Amino acid sequence: MAKIKIAVAGCLGRMGQEISKQILKNKKLEFVGGFEHKKHKDINKPLNKVSDIQSSKLVSTNATQLIKEANVIIDFTTPESTLDNLKIASANKTAVVIGTTGMTDAQKKKVKGYSKKIPILMSSNMSVGVNLLFNLVQQTASALKDTDYDIEIAETHHKHKKDAPSGTALSLGEYAAEGRKTNLTKSKVLDRTKKLSSRKKGDIGFSVTRGGEIAGEHTVSFIGSNDRIDLVHKANNRSIFVSGAIEAAIFISKKNHGLFNLKDIF
């Protein structure tokens, strides 16, 4: 059976390095290479000289060449870079796994447009446990009325993370809103410092912590007058996200087109 050829966008990023290492260890996969932004300090250097990735392939700036060669690209970069890579992938009929967060609704709409031509799996979180949490949040929000229980979402990540709230936290908010048959855009509260007002019925509040090297922690709290229910997921390291991304790549390599998420696998 032919190996699935995979290229990694942002190969020297935190997730890019871990994913590249796991591809090299997986007998079903072939690592065709990784690429970075042309201004990265380690361009054209061997991966094994600038990272823990055991490959002598050079850090490339030629996204087009690697995407053309690959069956699948895995992309945990920035919204702008991801859309650039999707344009190239679409032209070359290459499948894409997207773990990039911080996308606007307009950018997500563009992703959906590309999925009419190529298969794309996009998830704000590649962990099986978090995707289970999505379902639990939706069920709990549906069962507990907004007149009785307030919803607050707290998330903590490492100090290097730029987007806030995290993509996972916003997805949790979307599932909570869906459970209550409302729209997150109408009910989310990201900042309580701009005006003095009490909490409104149906608000979904968010709080953010950044520090250290925390891989990711998310808590969805349903707070009533007499009790409180917390649904919690804590990632001890990035391995759970890497495993999900690898499974996603194998899954998406067998599709012709369409937009998928991690729940489609499990």
Q: Across the beta sheet with 4-9, what order do the strands follow?
A: 29-35, 4-9, 72-75, 95-98, 119-122, 258-260
| Residue 132 sits in the same domain as residue 218 | yes
User: What would the pLDDT profile of 144-195 be if each residue is shown by its tens digit?
Assistant: 999 999 999 999 999 999 899 999 999 999 999 999 999 999 999 999 998 8
| Residue 58 sits in the same domain as residue 88 | yes
User: What would the pLDDT profile of 74-116 be if each residue is shown by its tens digit?
Assistant: 999 999 999 999 999 999 999 999 999 889 999 999 999 999 9
Q: Which of 21, 157, 218, 233 is catalytic?
A: 157
| Residue 116 sits in the same domain as residue 132 | no
- Residue 1: the pLDDT is 76
Q: Tell me if residue 201 is catalytic.
A: no
Q: Tell me if residue 157 is catalytic.
A: yes
Tell me the average pLDDT across 209-234.
97
| Residue 102 sits in the same domain as residue 135 | no
For the entire predicted model, the pTM comes to 0.82
Q: Are 153 and 220 in contact (CB under 8 A)?
A: yes
| The total number of structural domains that make up the chain | 2
- Residue 201: the pLDDT is 95
| Residue 107 sits in the same domain as residue 212 | no
| Residue 206 sits in the same domain as residue 168 | yes
- For residue 63, give its domain range: 4-122+239-264
Q: Exposure pattern of 180-195 as b/e (b: 16+ CB <10 Å)?
A: beeebeebbeeeeeee
State what percent of residues in the chain have pLDDT above 90. 91
| Residue 9 sits in the same domain as residue 115 | yes
| Residue 179 sits in the same domain as residue 78 | no
| Residue 155 sits in the same domain as residue 80 | no
- CA-to-CA separations, 103 to 11, 82, 214, in angstroms, rounded: 20, 10, 22
* CATH number of domain containing 191: 3.30.360.10
Q: Which of 87, 161, 255, 257 is catalytic?
A: 161
| Residue 96 sits in the same domain as residue 167 | no
What residue type is 167 in one-letter code?
A: G
CB atoms within 10 A of CB 68: 16
**Is pLDDT above 80 for 211?**
yes
CB atoms within 10 A of CB 66: 25
| Residue 142 sits in the same domain as residue 167 | yes
Tell me the average pLDDT across 17-27.
96
**Is pLDDT above 90 for 221?**
yes
Mean pLDDT of the chain: 95
User: What would the pLDDT profile of 38-66 be if each residue is shown by its tens digit?
Assistant: 999 999 999 999 999 999 999 999 999 99
| Residue 42 sits in the same domain as residue 103 | yes
